[in-house]
Each structure stands twice: as structure tokens, then as C-alpha cells.
A and B are shown apart, each in its own frame.
Chain A
Amino acid sequence: MEQKAPLGMKRAGKMRVFSRPRFTLVVAPLLLLTILAVLPLFGPGPNIIRLLFVTFVWVTVSVAWNILGGFGGQVSFGFAVFYGLGAFTAALAINGGVNPVLSFLLAGSVALLASLLVGLPTFRLKGPYFAIATIGVSEAVRVVMTNFSLTGGASGYRIMETGAFHQLQHFYTALALAVVAVAVSILVRRSNLGLALIAIREDEEAASDLGVNPFRVKLLAHALAAALTGAAGGVYARYAAFIHPQGVFAFYIGVAILLMPIIGGVGTIWGPVIGAVVYGLVHEELIASFPQFHLLLYGSLLILIILFEPGGVVGLLDKSFRILARARGTSGSHP
């Protein structure tokens, strides 16, 4: 039965996350990946390699957080817990002679278990209360780990790895992990889990009324995100060779982890990647030149984004393409 839209109402526009054709979304990333993979062969220098390494780690964590926070709308301030636990697990394992790759897997597993411990009590809480509870979890874990003598307490823990290895090992490990994270993110988004997460984000009650088990879905997403984050922490720990609780469990890490997807475009696939790149580059340069401004920068950025462009970089790009398309005369939305 045909029904005309009531007079005066905007025509329901076609819904698009990104106006560009899908072709570009597939080719561009693959191209980028190839470039990154062969980049070291062109001798870019250790500083660039280091910068890229750190960015890959951030990409992993940002994409991981977005699975729960972006798709599912469950904002956690406490992902530093998983990052730190992963770092320490991998450090302990490597020092114990365990193969590094296995150590990273172990790191991810420990983080996964931790996510269940955290999620079981906190996912009963509605959105903002969950967020605040995660602040508490993060701080409590930091306090406990700072006093935990097994891992050196506040003075930190050093990794003593036997056997030679090349700086490039770190580079490629981190790149591989980032690729895995993005792949997981895409798979989740297209799966039932992804649809369930989005439904929960939009309206948890309605989702439940239709048969979605919110608790189980959140726990699952949380576990995936935590595992990836823990592995990233492990990869970073091996690179840094020395970690301490005030560093890896720091509150600002939890902040950075959620800031990246928000900057880039929370809830999208590539937003977190873009946000991580922006954050990684800016952060590394900033920390070098103006360390005393970084909280100010992130706070202001957060305020501006929330108030003016909640869609982040992706949202901005989307809007600009729409404006461009309209200016060119073709309609960006289909009837």
C-alpha cells in the first residue's frame, strides 16, 4: 500500500555511513596495507619505524574499544586495565622463556578473563553508570598493581629477552595485530553480533523485547575487545622492555583509548583507525615538544567533537562529500 510522506516532512533520506562507493573502501585500505608492508625495505629510518609501530598498537586498541563502545554504545573508561594486564602477562611469560607469539596470545587470554570479571557486575548497569564504574575499576586495578610485589610493584618490571631480534619484528608484529583487529571489527560488524550490538546501542529495551540477550552480547563484545587490547599491551611491552604500573595502567591510557575512536568517528569501521593515526602522530610529536598541554588538547578536542561533530573525522568527511555532491548538482541522497 503506497503512502505519501506527509506534507512538510523531510523525505526519509537514504542511510549511508560513508557516501563513497564501496570500491574505494576496499581498494584504499589494501593499497595502504601493501605500502606499509614494504615500507621498511626503503630504509625510512628507525624513528619512522618507531612511530608507525606505536601507531599500529594504537590502531589495534582503538578498533578494539570501538567494538564495544562504538558498535554497542557501552563507553568504558577502563581499557587500560586490559592493556596493562596484557603487558604484564606477556612480560612475565617472555621472561619465563615462553615464545613471544604465545606470550601475546596469553596476554590476550588473561585480558579476556579480566573482561569477564569486570563485565559480570558492571554490565548490569545502564550506560553512564557503567562508564563511571569502569573509571573505578581502572583506578582500583592501578592501585593494586602498583603495590603488587610479584611484578616489581611501583618500580616496574624489566623484560630480559634472550636471543637476538630485529626492530622490524616489532613493526611487523604490530602491523599484523592491527590488521587482525580491523578484520575482526569488520567481521563483527557484518555478523549477528554486530547487529545485536547496534540494536542495544540504539535501544536496549527494544532489543531485548525482540529476543536479544543484552548481557551476553555485551560480555562477548567486551571479551573480544579486551583480548585484542591485551595482545596489543603485550606487543608494546616486548618493544618497551620495561613497563611499570603507573605507565601502562595510567588513567590517561584509558582516556586515549576512547578518545581515538571518538576523534575518528565512533561506531564506524575506519573511524577508529583514522583516530588512532591522528592521535598516534599528534601524541608522539606533542609529547616531544609540549608535554604540558596534552590533557588540555584532548579535553578541548573531546568537548569540541561532542558539541559540534559527534561523528568525528568520518562524520566531517561524510558531510563534506554530501555538500560537494549537492554543489555538483547530483543528489547525495536517493529518493
Chain B
Amino acid sequence: MSAVDLLNLLVAAFLLAGVYAAMSVGMTIIYGVMKIVNLAHAGFLMLGAYFVYELYVRFGIDPLVGVALAFPVFFFIGMAVHWLLIRRIPPSDQPTLTSLLLLFGLWLVLQNLGYLIWGNADRAILTPRTLSMLGVGPISFPTVRLVVFAVAVTSLGGLEFVLHKTWFGRAVRALMQNRDAGRIVGVNVERTARVAFGVGIAFAGAAGGLLAMLFSFSPDFGGPFLLRAFVIIVLGGLESFAGVAVGALILALVETFSILVLPANYQPAIAFSLLVVALVVLPDGVAGLWNKRHRWA
């Protein structure tokens, strides 16, 4: 294994981390504001993938444009789902089994819808971009990975902007820290929750589109990514956006470099092992470790 090969792997991991982060951020927002673990996230990833696919295959719309369109479309879908179902979940400071099972049911429904509409054959989005490679010195990687990475990071940057510079963003952060206090200060919890859910689903749909540009997909493609998203947000400390970035990087690195030691078939088991380790050993995530060390004893 030469230094160049290692460097290639490193770059690949880094690029993957960007998409993984975008994929997980949706769950983080929803969890942070409503303390709901969105198991249906997988379903929306899948729908996002097919959305971008259909736009490309039927109307020739460039997948990147499709991803950009996915944001508003899935935002409204998310708000609709919230209005229909999510708002009926009794609120709580902790994730409840009610919310878990409800969203799980929703995921099953979405999966079946996927099968009904598109069947279970694998699809892929193939553009000229997909097959071309970019080279920077000795390192080379598929162009599409860089493009996807760029879009992911840009959208995350947009989210950061919204969170820190808009009233909505402040409301979200307030609710994430303390829902009751937020209410007292005048935050409209129900409306903020609905918008937050919409944003979460928007990111799920768009991320699904991004993932579709990299991997082939079928209606159950959300599952492994859901697990990965969960590993990432647990590693990241469940409510920290910076933590999501860190978690995504860790997972991407472990997955990418595991090829060196494990046969590819066993790769899906990596996300799980990391999940159990993260949940058991680092209940506050990596971000929690950081916080503990940097506070005054």
C-alpha cells in the first residue's frame, strides 16, 4: 500500500464524509427540536433518490438541478407529513416509543409505495459526470464525488447560516436546548417544529438525490443509510451540528479504510458495530467528550 494509495483513500473518505453529513443533518434537526428519532428518514432518502432520477430520466434535468429542486419540494412534503401525522405524537423531552413506532410504520408505507411505483429493480443515475475522473497531482477520484461533496457542503453552509442568522434558526437552537424555556421566551413551538420537520425532510430528500448520484438504488436503499445516519448523529452527540460533521468523518474514514482489512461483503456490519460502540461507550457522542474536557473542573 503506497502513500499515494493511502492518500487516495483519504480523499475518498473525505468526499464521502460530506455527503454523509448532509444525509444526517436532517435527522439531527428533527431529533433536536422534537426529540423524535425519524425512522422514516430512510423512506425520504429513497424518495429523494427517485425524484432526482425521474427528473433526469423523463425531463433530462441535470441531477444537480434536481437536488436543488428537491429542497423546496421535500420541504413541503415534510410540513404536510408533520401536519398529518407528527403533530399527533404527544410531545416529550425524550424520544418515545410511540414516535419510534409511528415513524417506523411510515417508513414501511413509503417503502411499499416505492415498490409499487418503481418495482424492485436497481436504478442508477448515469451522467457523463459519473464516469469521468478528476486528477490532482497523483490523486484521482470520480468527478461526481467532488461535485456531490461541493453541493453537500454548500447546503450545510446554508443551514449554518439559517441557524445563526435567522429568527427561525435561533428558535430552533433555543428549542433544542430547552423546549419549555423556548416557549416562555415566545417561540411558537408548534410552528417551529413543523418548519423544522420540513427542513429535516428537505435535507433527507436532497441528500437522497445526492446519494443517488453516487450509488445505485432501489426502494429499500434507505435502510443502510438510515443506520449510517444514526451512527453519525450518535457519534456527533445527537444534537450538535458540528458533531455531525465529526461523526460523518469518522464513519467515512472507518468505512473507507476497512476495505484494507475486511472483505467487502461484511462492510454493512461496520456501521452497526460503530453504532453499538458509540451508543454504549460514548453516550454523549464525541462532542460530549470534547465538552467535558474543556469545561472547568
Give the docked Cα–Cα distance between A143 and B267 (Å). 9
Q: With contacts A122-B276, A292-B115 known, is A131 near B107, CB below 8 A?
A: no
Tell me the dominant secondary structure on chain A's binding face: helix
The yes or no answer to A296 lying at the interface (CB within 8 A) is yes
The yes or no answer to A251 lying at the interface (CB within 8 A) is yes
Q: With contacts A129-B279, A136-B227 known, is A295 near B108, CB below 8 A?
A: yes
Give the docked Cα–Cα distance between A139 and B271 (Å). 10
Which residue of chain A is the closest to B273 with respect to CB atoms? A140
Interface bin, chain B: 35 or more
The yes or no answer to A206 lying at the interface (CB within 8 A) is no
User: Which of A128, A131, A139, A307 is within 8 Å of B272, CB to CB?
Assistant: A139
Judging by beta carbons under 8 Å apart, are A255 and B279 in contact? no
Judging by beta carbons under 8 Å apart, are B268 and A140 in contact? yes
Give the docked Cα–Cα distance between A108 and B18 (Å). 45
Judging by beta carbons under 8 Å apart, are B105 and A136 in contact? no
Judging by beta carbons under 8 Å apart, are B108 and A133 in contact? no
Q: With contacts A128-B37, A133-B279, A135-B227 known, is A292 near B112, CB below 8 A?
A: yes
**Residues of A close to B112: CB separation below 8 A:** 292-296, 299
Judging by beta carbons under 8 Å apart, are A126 and B94 in contact? yes
Interface bin, chain A: 35 or more
Which residue of chain B is the closest to A302 with respect to CB atoms? B105
Give the docked Cα–Cα distance between A128 and B276 (Å). 13
The yes or no answer to A325 lying at the interface (CB within 8 A) is no
Give the docked Cα–Cα distance between A306 and B97 (Å). 10
Q: Mark A131-145, 1 if CB is under 8 A from B, else 0.
A: 111011101100110
Judging by beta carbons under 8 Å apart, are A295 and B115 in contact? yes
Which residues of chain B from 86 to 102 have a CB within 8 Å of any chain A CB? Answer: 88, 94-102
Judging by beta carbons under 8 Å apart, are B108 and A298 in contact? yes
Give the docked Cα–Cα distance between A45 and B237 (Å). 58
Q: With contacts A140-B269, A296-B112, A299-B108 known, is A127 near B223, CB below 8 A?
A: no
Give the docked Cα–Cα distance between A137 and B85 (Å). 29
Q: With contacts A295-B108, A302-B104 known, is A136 near B37, CB below 8 A?
A: no
**Residues of A close to B80: CB separation below 8 A:** none
Which residues of chain B from 162 to 210 have a CB within 8 Å of any chain A CB? Answer: none
The yes or no answer to A300 lying at the interface (CB within 8 A) is yes
Q: With contacts A124-B280, A136-B276 known, is A302 near B108, CB below 8 A?
A: yes
Give the docked Cα–Cα distance between A276 and B269 (Å). 31
The yes or no answer to A102 lying at the interface (CB within 8 A) is no
Judging by beta carbons under 8 Å apart, are A147 and B115 in contact? no
Most chain B CB inside 10 Å of its own CB: which residue of A122, A139, A303, A310 = A303
User: Which of B88, B227, B234, B279 is within 8 Å of A139, CB to CB?
Assistant: B227
Which residues of chain B from 258 to 297 have a CB within 8 Å of any chain A CB? Answer: 263, 265-266, 268-269, 271-273, 275-276, 279-280
**Residues of B close to A25: CB separation below 8 A:** none
Which residues of chain B from 216 to 273 have a CB within 8 Å of any chain A CB? Answer: 223-224, 227, 230, 234, 263, 265-266, 268-269, 271-273
Judging by beta carbons under 8 Å apart, are B105 and A301 in contact? yes
Most chain B CB inside 10 Å of its own CB: which residue of A125, A143, A292 = A143
Give the docked Cα–Cα distance between A125 and B273 (Å). 15
Give the docked Cα–Cα distance between A218 and B230 (Å). 24
Give the docked Cα–Cα distance between A302 and B234 (Å). 26
Give the docked Cα–Cα distance between A69 and B229 (Å). 25
Give the docked Cα–Cα distance between A255 and B107 (Å). 12
Judging by beta carbons under 8 Å apart, are A303 and B85 in contact? yes
Which residue of chain A is the closest to B263 with respect to CB atoms? A147
Distance (Å) between the CB of B60 and the closest chain A CB? 30
Judging by beta carbons under 8 Å apart, are A128 and B95 in contact? yes
Judging by beta carbons under 8 Å apart, are B109 and A303 in contact? yes
**Residues of B close to A299: CB separation below 8 A:** 104-112
**Residues of A close to B105: CB separation below 8 A:** 298-303, 306
